[in-house]
Structure 1
């Protein structure tokens, strides 16, 4: 099996690269209009190899010993660089610095390769029809081949440095594809914008790599040994664990033989994960946050999300390829691959979740009002990627599995929606403004029904793929919140309020000090066996299945626990509200495009028709995937079990959770998410299948037109006279109430203890919480966490209350000051994309342009001016002296005499 695995793993990226080279050489003169065939055949072959790889990984795991928890193989093709190190080198431990070109295959890699190659093959088939007749036809397919090669290598390498190399290669390929129609100024600008914004994220990524090497001594994922052949080396990482006895990896066994060096632990190797030897504290936090910056750039997360909507200027197949299955998923893949590093820094995981939740909400709000069909889908992509980051930020097995499952299903239905939008654009003469066409369901029936499948999947309607993956994310958030509440209850049970303050101080000091440089959970006395024991011993949960407590929470302080409980609770509401927005804007686009009065723009020249088979066949295949793949993988538990074979997920560092199956499904969460999605679909149907009057009502409400009308004296209404005093009075009452609460809170506050709000709400309910699972879920989630939103930690209460007062005052100004509503309204914010482009232009782009112009002037006038001025002195002196050379003997005699006199006179002066 070893030879088969290595051959298949090499073939997956090699086939697209070979096809790209062939197309570049033969396309301009030989292949021309047939330039798509090498790419389609190569991508299809790569997909078949990926499926075989996935099968081989599954078979290898099943053939492994019963005690094996994971399966992976690493193949070192050759050594790129090797630098000997002094034995006193504390960074590498005296080990030589070796950069190997190594490829790995495990469950995570197999999933990514299968998804990327499958969607890429369908996109290439679709592009053969969409790009037909374009003068850069061969060039387009060459770029596609290079792009897929870069992406497949990115997910296959076993080294952070090579990951960065192909990370950059993906960025360059996207620049070429987005700016493919470089004659269009918009496309050229969009390509440059995507490239430059990604450089910001890549800068953070590169700094993270320096920190990883400095603190871990290597950039390899896997363990390495010094005495290893230079080519074709295989290292099998079959992690085995039985009770307290651990079987060493084969690489370790080889290194222990006579004459071989001690192995160097890889950053993500099974041996390091089993021993939980990761940095936490400030170093771990810095590494994780810098990695997150890189992921935010590639996956278009806030604040680096601005490049992705503009990337719609590229050809539509590029949009489907980049924004569904390849480039934007690279950030999600990287965070998933590095999840052990993030788990070692709980605060970093919290930041990942917060960034994802905020991005999901922000992009969903912007998508509500866009009229460009492709840009609606672009902001939808940003929002769904935010969902994935939110799920990964949960930090449990359920969260990681749900995030990857959503990435998997999203690739199908989002590629489907982009390609269907391209089909509409193709028929409408490249018009994509939804206000200029409508009622296309009869003209384009296949596109209509396939778009409907993608829309239902994106909205999360049963039984389409998006429902299962999105429900898994909401369920993971639910379990995380329950585990945090359970940890808080256990913490209070261990240290009841009647205990003296000194004991409480001791516990907080112990918890705060339980985060040494090596790894916090290890210092807290946690081992893999302890994790498994805690997961098995804990009962209760939801729907008859257990939601195991997170033993890694034991090293957190009380303040950290309350902060995380509050944040994850509100993130659950954010995710649910975003699901409502998703359903609304998705079916808004669907109804505006395919329903209403039939309307075709003049650019179609009266020949609007269904797309050719080369375009609608991929749509049909993706529609089938968007309909059935979620149910198939969720019900059979195939995806969840397969992903859990990845070493970094299988070795106990990630908190175990219920399997992603029927048994692990949260029915209450599923029902709520379905109802929320149906409300969104129903609202879109009401407003966009009815008369234009309803649409105007929505716009007036969102544009705060009613606020302005209440303030107008000519608006005759019984509420006109009391509206403004009423709103002001309500705000005054709330303001006074908040001041009183703050005063009571401050009066009862004692250092080192929780406040009276926390004790009154939490401790009185503790007996009920421990006795009733229903109360644990509903009472504590509905009341306790609401109070915790205003009571994160006793010593932070002053700042919390002041922030609440300031925000409330600002909100009141926006409500009752109608002139502000004219310029800043929800509708204008959404249409203007919250003005992030303008904000970045005036705060970053314009100052940098001014600085660049200033530096240019300094370089041109000062530096070059000084150099050029000095250079002009010799010619000037020469020109002056040239005038004295007249060719007269008398003048030369006088010059000699004067010269002698000057010399004599100077000598006399010096002598005196």
Structure 2
């Protein structure tokens, strides 16, 4: 069995990189900071794979069930007997899976950035921020209690703020990092309130104890949580809805998706890390961590998860079909794919064949990490070559970027659900789970899968085929003599492409399931016909419209008029939030509050000060320092006392 020190080193190694490079990098390790951070991440990745292997193949299974192990636990804050905040490490199937995903994708980003970010003035700072981000997410997934996960949940938010706003001299990047931070803070307020409600009724913050107490029929804690209600909804359902709000904010689910597209202002490798393995999947992980409570005790909250996930998937896919910035297309693609993971959890049950959705969600999280990281790093290779994010500046790049072209194509086939690539297997399981439990969500998901294939191959053909003018005509007339970026940029693309092509063949259900017992993933050829046909249809439509330069897309966009314009403007969600913020909150809440603060609160304070000043001015002459004046005051006072004495003596 692995000891706690070995497991603790996995997050502590990137933390060491953050501290060393953050404090001394710019002065002592300016040129070698990337190598130092990459070596530390490589060590963490090896330890993560070693830990996962040991858990899945040696000691994790007890009597046929993968158990939760807590190799480290200590009391951090003791409030009273039975109530404390503990810090610890918990290992279970989804923790081990996430350790591998986070460290591997982060390692790919570290290697890739050696070339992509070379020459940046704040090169060491960039790598220190990457270390903090990786540490935060690793510490989040090994957390043994709900308050501990909240601590690192917020640290992930801080890390994203630093990385999205890395180009702090760029106004759009500053605005984007503030937007991400503020939007997720509102969602995290819901998460915090949900934590407080859960801990109040369960009497614990520990995940294992909390889940056991709130899912055991007849337990005092569960009875109290279900019998207490507000607006006809039980306290437990409210708690799980509030927890999901926190998850929806972090994972950019409807209607809190507005921050993620703007987060593309950060460096492209950061986008790969945020989208593939860290911040946006944290929400999915949180719902999966508390899934037994959702499924067994708060089914209404789980239905909300399902429908929000389905709406997010469809809405983001429609918007992605209209965007022209390649990173924003991928951003909306991420929202759509996270939606898939969410509604897969939402249609799942706990244990047995009904738990297919849970396994499918985690499987898609795993495969998505491979092909989405590959898509972003491939986009980075294109941007590094062409110095533009806009599709209008691209086309015909397959002969200039052969490795990027092939690996990007593999990623597009994977996300489109084309067999035998990884996305096919995980997406088929999600669709199968939806088909068995909710036909409305199934049809939404099936249509969305066709849209996914369309917008991804719209992107593929727009970048690598379409028009082919000379490079001198692009990106401001700058000629590009350099190649694809060298070994450091190509190696991650090749490794991730291997994962995107082969990860689907892993018998994932044997390792990860809702009840830890494992399950066999059955493949049904007849069921797969419709999803594959939808995917191929989307690809062929994209090929017809975008393989060669023509005016068909413009004609179709003009014919759709209002719908296309709305989708291109992201259905005006940003405008609606600005309207609510500026016209309602600012005018009806902020301005009255500012008036009260200025005229009532400040007015009382100022009145007190002014009164004191007025009195002091009137009486300050008494303290003149003139002895004659003091003698006169004394004489007057003495006469007054004598008169009063005589008057009262009578």
TM-score by length of 1: 0.65
2:393, 2:475 within 8 Å by CA — same for their partners in 1?
Answer: no
Structure 1, 30-39 or 381-390: larger mean CA deviation: 30-39
Compared CA separation, residues 685 and 861, structure 1 to 2 (3 A) = same
User: Which residue does the alignment assign to 2:458?
Assistant: 588
State the alpha-carbon separation in 1 of the partners of residues 294 and 616 from structure 2: 71
User: Which residue does the alignment assign to 2:210?
Assistant: 267
1:126, 1:618 within 8 Å by CA — same for their partners in 2?
Answer: yes
Compared CA separation, residues 359 and 902, structure 1 to 2 (3 A) = farther
Unaligned stretches of 5+ in structure 1? Answer: 86-95, 223-265, 481-567, 704-824
Equivalent residue for 2:275, pick from 297, 318, 323: 323
Residues 437-491 of structure 1 show CA distances to partners (whole Å, capped at 9, x for unaligned) of 22211222221111111111111111111111111111111222xxxxxxxxxxx
State the alpha-carbon separation in 2 of the partners of residues 143 and 840 from structure 1: 30
User: Which residue does the alignment assign to 1:417?
Assistant: 375
1:417, 1:454 within 8 Å by CA — same for their partners in 2?
Answer: yes
State the alpha-carbon separation in 2 of the partners of residues 892 and 25 from structure 1: 69
Compared CA separation, residues 876 and 472, structure 1 to 2 (3 A) = same
User: Which residue does the alignment assign to 2:411?
Assistant: 454
The answer on 1:642 being equivalent to 2:511 is yes
Alignment of 1:270-285 (within 5 A): 278=222, 280=226, 282-285=234-237
Compared CA separation, residues 575 and 887, structure 1 to 2 (3 A) = same
Compared CA separation, residues 401 and 854, structure 1 to 2 (3 A) = same
| Secondary structure at the counterpart of residue 643 of structure 1 | coil
Equivalent residue for 1:659, pick from 517, 520, 540: 520
Compared CA separation, residues 856 and 895, structure 1 to 2 (3 A) = farther
Per-residue deviation at 1:422? 1.0
| Secondary structure at the counterpart of residue 71 of structure 2 | strand
| Secondary structure at the counterpart of residue 302 of structure 1 | coil
Per-residue deviation at 1:899? 11
Residues 361-411 of structure 1 show CA distances to partners (whole Å, capped at 9, x for unaligned) of 010111111111000000000000000001001123110011111110000
2:465, 2:548 within 8 Å by CA — same for their partners in 1?
Answer: no
2:191, 2:245 within 8 Å by CA — same for their partners in 1?
Answer: yes
State the alpha-carbon separation in 1 of the partners of residues 600 and 127 from structure 2: 48
Alignment of 1:429-508 (within 5 A): 429=387, 431-480=388-437
Per-residue deviation at 1:898? 11
Alignment of 1:156-167 (within 5 A): 156-167=142-153
Per-residue deviation at 1:268? 2.8
Per-residue deviation at 1:691? 4.4
State the alpha-carbon separation in 1 of the partners of residues 7 and 130 from structure 2: 20
Residues 311-359 of structure 1 show CA distances to partners (whole Å, capped at 9, x for unaligned) of 0000111100011111111111111111111112222221111000000
Per-residue deviation at 1:893? 6.1
Compared CA separation, residues 849 and 604, structure 1 to 2 (3 A) = farther
Per-residue deviation at 1:902? 12
Alignment of 1:192-341 (within 5 A): 192-222=178-208, 266-269=209-212, 278=222, 280=226, 282-341=234-293
Equivalent residue for 1:82, pick from 49, 53, 78: 78
Unaligned stretches of 5+ in structure 2? Answer: 227-232, 349-353
Structure 1 runs of 4+ aligned residues shifted over 4 Å read: 271-281, 880-905
| Secondary structure at the counterpart of residue 48 of structure 1 | helix
Residues 812-862 of structure 1 show CA distances to partners (whole Å, capped at 9, x for unaligned) of xxxxxxxxxxxxx10111011000011011113553344435434433344
User: Which residue does the alignment assign to 2:100?
Assistant: 114
Compared CA separation, residues 865 and 442, structure 1 to 2 (3 A) = same
2:61, 2:67 within 8 Å by CA — same for their partners in 1?
Answer: no
User: Which residue does the alignment assign to 2:24?
Assistant: 26
Equivalent residue for 2:605, pick from 858, 867, 879: 867
User: Which residue does the alignment assign to 1:239?
Assistant: none
User: Which residue does the alignment assign to 1:509?
Assistant: none
The answer on 1:103 being equivalent to 2:61 is no
State the alpha-carbon separation in 1 of the partners of residues 242 and 559 from structure 2: 41
State the alpha-carbon separation in 2 of the partners of residues 603 and 892 from structure 1: 90
User: Which residue does the alignment assign to 1:533?
Assistant: none
State the alpha-carbon separation in 2 of the partners of residues 134 and 886 from structure 1: 68
User: Which residue does the alignment assign to 1:185?
Assistant: 171
Larger Rg computed on CA atoms:
1
Alignment of 1:529-540 (within 5 A): none
User: Which residue does the alignment assign to 2:357?
Assistant: 399
Alignment of 1:503-518 (within 5 A): none
Equivalent residue for 1:572, pick from 442, 447, 450: 442
Between structures 1 and 2, the one with greater helix share: 2
1:116, 1:325 within 8 Å by CA — same for their partners in 2?
Answer: yes
Per-residue deviation at 1:892? 8.6
TM-score by length of 2: 0.90
User: Which residue does the alignment assign to 1:855?
Assistant: 593
Compared CA separation, residues 433 and 898, structure 1 to 2 (3 A) = same
State the alpha-carbon separation in 2 of the partners of residues 216 and 897 from structure 1: 76
Residues 70-89 of structure 1 show CA distances to partners (whole Å, capped at 9, x for unaligned) of 2331123421022334xxxx
State the alpha-carbon separation in 1 of the partners of residues 625 and 549 from structure 2: 99
Residues 740-796 of structure 1 show CA distances to partners (whole Å, capped at 9, x for unaligned) of xxxxxxxxxxxxxxxxxxxxxxxxxxxxxxxxxxxxxxxxxxxxxxxxxxxxxxxxx
1:21, 1:142 within 8 Å by CA — same for their partners in 2?
Answer: yes
State the alpha-carbon separation in 1 of the partners of residues 127 and 166 from structure 2: 11
Equivalent residue for 1:628, pick from 477, 489, 502: 502
1:579, 1:673 within 8 Å by CA — same for their partners in 2?
Answer: yes
Compared CA separation, residues 45 and 902, structure 1 to 2 (3 A) = same
RMSD, aligned α-carbons: 2.7
1:427, 1:604 within 8 Å by CA — same for their partners in 2?
Answer: no
Per-residue deviation at 1:105? 1.2
Equivalent residue for 2:328, pick from 369, 372, 375: 375
State the alpha-carbon separation in 2 of the partners of residues 105 and 901 from structure 1: 88
Equivalent residue for 1:366, pick from 319, 325, 335: 319
State the alpha-carbon separation in 1 of the partners of residues 345 and 477 from structure 2: 45
1:398, 1:472 within 8 Å by CA — same for their partners in 2?
Answer: yes
State the alpha-carbon separation in 2 of the partners of residues 881 and 81 from structure 1: 55
1:8, 1:50 within 8 Å by CA — same for their partners in 2?
Answer: no
User: Which residue does the alignment assign to 1:483?
Assistant: none
State the alpha-carbon separation in 1 of the partners of residues 185 and 356 from structure 2: 32
1:374, 1:432 within 8 Å by CA — same for their partners in 2?
Answer: yes
User: Which residue does the alignment assign to 1:678?
Assistant: 536
User: Which residue does the alignment assign to 1:746?
Assistant: none
Per-residue deviation at 1:211? 1.2
Per-residue deviation at 1:426? 1.2
Equivalent residue for 1:618, pick from 469, 492, 516: 492
1:76, 1:100 within 8 Å by CA — same for their partners in 2?
Answer: no
2:60, 2:67 within 8 Å by CA — same for their partners in 1?
Answer: no
State the alpha-carbon separation in 2 of the partners of residues 607 and 693 from structure 1: 28
| Secondary structure at the counterpart of residue 99 of structure 1 | strand
Residues 665-694 of structure 1 show CA distances to partners (whole Å, capped at 9, x for unaligned) of 232331101100111011111111244321
State the alpha-carbon separation in 1 of the partners of residues 468 and 395 from structure 2: 5
1:474, 1:669 within 8 Å by CA — same for their partners in 2?
Answer: no
User: Which residue does the alignment assign to 1:228?
Assistant: none
State the alpha-carbon separation in 2 of the partners of residues 276 and 110 from structure 1: 32
Structure 1, 282-291 or 155-164: larger mean CA deviation: 282-291
Compared CA separation, residues 902 and 336, structure 1 to 2 (3 A) = same
Per-residue deviation at 1:187? 0.8
| Secondary structure at the counterpart of residue 234 of structure 2 | helix
